[in-house]
Chain A
Amino acid sequence: EAGVVQSPRYKIIEKKQPVAFWCNPISGHNTLYWYRQNLGQGPELLIRYENEEAVDDSQLPKDRFSAERLKGVDSTLKIQPAELGDSAVYLCASSGGGQRYNEQFFGPGTRLTVL
């Protein structure tokens, strides 16, 4: 079974530039999460999707961040414009339903560096 796929793995941009990250969850997983992990910290949730609906985006900085999951499978997270403080690892995770809904499977992440 393929795991969560993310691309790109690394991205270096200058501040004020836009950037986008892509995620393909595990097949059949309806729930998709985007987390941000700052250096030396644990991941923090940005947004959660149930199928194509964003059911929890309370921690997403909506002035510059946006996300979409148009067909309930792949998802894209965008930052426009990027700031120096956005440098972090952006992790995508997915989970199935039923009793194991808390068990989240993570992708390798995209390491963003904003110069």
Chain B
Amino acid sequence: GNSVTQMEGPVTLSEEAFLTINCTYTATGYPSLFWYVQYPGEGLQLLLKATKADDKGSNKGFEATYRKETTSFHLEKGSVQVSDSAVYFCALPSGAGSYQLTFGKGTKLSVIP
């Protein structure tokens, strides 16, 4: 079945540093790909998505490009802020009908002033 492998954390960066969180996937066909973010004490929120190869999803300064050649969907941000401290999950549809989301294990990001 479909699966994702996500860079393990935790990741600690200084404010304004460049962020990359790696995500690679295994899938049948070309499913949509997602990044979710979970702030402390909250549920998951959709951060961005890409629905086909070469699509770039972007939101709140974060970007990720759907690359079928390398089966990757790495999350990037040019200048992180303290408020970006959270756990980030890569995900893709799986299961019968692709209604289920399969998540990576999550990468905890801590940004220090």
B43 touches A45 (CB 8 A): no
A108 touches B42 (CB 8 A): yes
Q: Is B80 an interface residue (CB 8 A)?
A: no
Interface of B is mostly: strand
Q: Is B100 an interface residue (CB 8 A)?
A: yes
Contact status of A102 and B32, CB under 8 A, knowing A42-B89, A42-B106, A45-B101: yes
What distance in Å separates the Cβ of B91 from its nearest Cβ neighbour in chain A? 7
> Which chain A residues border B100 with CB–CB below 8 Å?
33, 45, 48, 56
The digit string for A12-47, where 1 denotes a CB below 8 A from any CB of B, is: 000000000000000000010100000011111100
Residues facing B in A47-61 (CB within 8 A) are 48, 56
Contact status of A41 and B106, CB under 8 A, knowing A102-B32, A103-B49, A109-B43: yes
Contact status of A40 and B43, CB under 8 A, knowing A45-B100, A102-B93, A103-B49: no
Contact status of A106 and B49, CB under 8 A, knowing A56-B95, A56-B96: no
The digit string for B42-63, where 1 denotes a CB below 8 A from any CB of A, is: 1111100100000000000000
**Additional A-B contact list (17), CB under 8 Å, known A33-B100, A56-B100, A91-B43:** A42-B89, A42-B102, A42-B103, A43-B89, A43-B103, A45-B100, A45-B101, A48-B100, A56-B95, A56-B96, A91-B44, A102-B98, A102-B99, A102-B101, A104-B101, A107-B43, A108-B42
25 contacts between A and B (CB under 8 A): A6-B43, A33-B100, A40-B105, A41-B105, A42-B89, A42-B91, A42-B102, A42-B103, A43-B89, A44-B103, A48-B100, A56-B95, A91-B44, A93-B44, A102-B32, A102-B93, A102-B98, A102-B101, A103-B46, A104-B101, A106-B44, A107-B43, A108-B41, A108-B42, A108-B43
**What residues make up the interface of B, taking CB atoms closer than 8 Å to A?**
32, 34, 36, 41-46, 49, 89, 91, 93, 95-96, 98-106
**Which 10 A-B residue pairings sit nearest by Cβ, starting from the closest?**
A42-B103, A106-B43, A106-B44, A108-B43, A45-B100, A102-B93, A107-B43, A109-B43, A42-B89, A102-B32
